[in-house]
Amino acid sequence: MAQLLDQYAALAEWDLSTREGYEGYIRRTIKPGLGHLQVRKVRGPVLDILYVRLKKCGDLACNGRPFTEHRNVPILRPDPAARPVAWAQVAGALREAIRSGALPAGSPLPSVRELQSLQGIRRTTLEDAFSVLADEGLIVVRRGRNAVVAGEDPDESGKRRLWRPGPEHECTLAGCQRHVCKPMKAGTIRQIHSILSGAFDTAQRWEWTDRNPADSAKPPSARIVKQPAPSPADVATVIAEGASLRSSPARLVPVAGGYHRRPPR
């Protein structure tokens, strides 16, 4: 499935904004949920179960039980009495975490403001450290978004791997929080269903499978909000006001070289 989704996304004729959103759904939701499965083994019930889970919580790591969302954020606070300088110490700690695999490719990093609040590190120190690591190609700094570790996840299945903290981990410094379920909206699930339907159509055309399981799956119905129609009295009032404006005499407005006829407001 992960291979199919990658090849389908590369060929899909999506506009720029649609592509950005759809590739995010593939990366964050579809691959973790289905990426490890064989295309021929996916059937309608598998998709129905996925949609039910997403309606309960958009995080597929959630099984309905309370848990803490641990974040793999190393302790970066520099030692003011040590050498090298503070920004180099922070850059060194992040560099070691990346090269050791503790921070794998694609891992998001907390924002500068968040790290400043969590670990009490000066903003300029963090900005200098991030700039150096970006120049080295170890992280990708994105304007308006959190930086991420450079490279692609070597696990093509996309299945989410839960990180377990070690004895030296401090949740207060990493910003770990208790998980709060956030149900995915029906409209979003229907977009995911549309992606899967298009991917399976392509797989069927390529003879990877003999059917499209999305045809037998049932995504949630989008709620249609009905707008109340205006009353006949309101419509009559609007028509009467429009007719009175059209019948009112135009005003003469002085302009350069004479006057201009302007209809009343």
Measured distance CA(174)–CA(73) in Å, rounded: 5
Q: List, for residues 51-96, the tens digit of each pLDDT value.
A: 999 999 999 888 888 888 888 888 899 998 888 899 999 999 999 9
Higher local confidence (pLDDT), 158 or 116: 116
Nearest to 31 by CA among 65, 56, 8: 8
pLDDT tens for residues 99-120? Answer: 988 888 888 888 999 999 999 9
Q: Which amino acid is at 173?
A: L
- How much is the pLDDT for 225? 64
Residue position matching structure tokens 């309608």: 44
Residue 231: pLDDT band (50, 70, 90) is confident
pLDDT score recorded for residue 127: 94
Higher pLDDT: 256 or 202? It is 202
Is the pLDDT assigned to residue 5 strictly greater than 90? yes
CA angle 64, 157, 54 (to 5 degrees): 30
pLDDT score, position 154: 53
Name residues whose C-beta falls within 8 Å of residue 92's C-beta, 6 or more positions apart in sequence.
Answer: 84
83 or 37, which is more confident?
A: 37
Res 161: pLDDT:
55
- 213 falls in which pLDDT band (50, 70, 90)? very high
180 touches 57 (CB < 8 A): no
Question: Mean per-residue pLDDT for 175-203?
Answer: 94
**Residue for token digits 């004895």?**
167
d(CA 189, CA 56): 12
- Reported confidence tier of residue 170, pLDDT bands at 50, 70, 90: confident
